[in-house]
Amino acid sequence: EVQLVESGGGLVQPGRSLTLSCTASGFSFGDYAISWFRQAPGKGLEWIGFIISGGTTENAASVKGRFTISREDSNGIAYLQMNSLKTEDTGVYYCSRDRRPFGMDVWGQGTTVTVSS
């Protein structure tokens, strides 16, 4: 079964760091880009950034300089390292298999990040 599973969410204080993982199974991970999205409580979807096969990344302006996306193709894992967290970073974080222009066709179940003192 083609699947993505996020992990690593939790409660963290403002200014601290957290790293999320996105573990893939059922497909050749290294052949695909991975995108990260988030959803603040009761709000819509926001694109955070992506990492393509080969490692090139791009981030949204709202997280640039604070969030870093990386990947470990040998283990089928993508990471979202989040530094200098703010309360407005609170939400559910999703990773997806990015088959642009054929869409984000596989999504993880999401992991919840709460930034609060």
What would the x/- binding string for another protein be over residues 61 to 90, using CB under 8 A? Answer: x-----------------------------
Among residues 3, 46, 52, 53, which is the contact residue for another protein, using CB under 8 A?
Answer: 46
| Residues 63, 64, 65, 70, CA torsion sign | positive
Among residues 45, 55, 56, 70, which is the contact residue for another protein, using CB under 8 A?
Answer: 45
Q: Longest Cα pair distance anywhere in the chain, in angstroms?
A: 41
CA distance 92 to 109: 9
Stretch of 20-28, 55-63, 68-76, 78-86 lying at the interface with another protein (CB under 8 A): 55-63
Could you say whether residue 105 binds another protein (CB under 8 A)?
yes
Virtual CA dihedral for 110, 83, 12, 76, nearest 10 degrees? 30
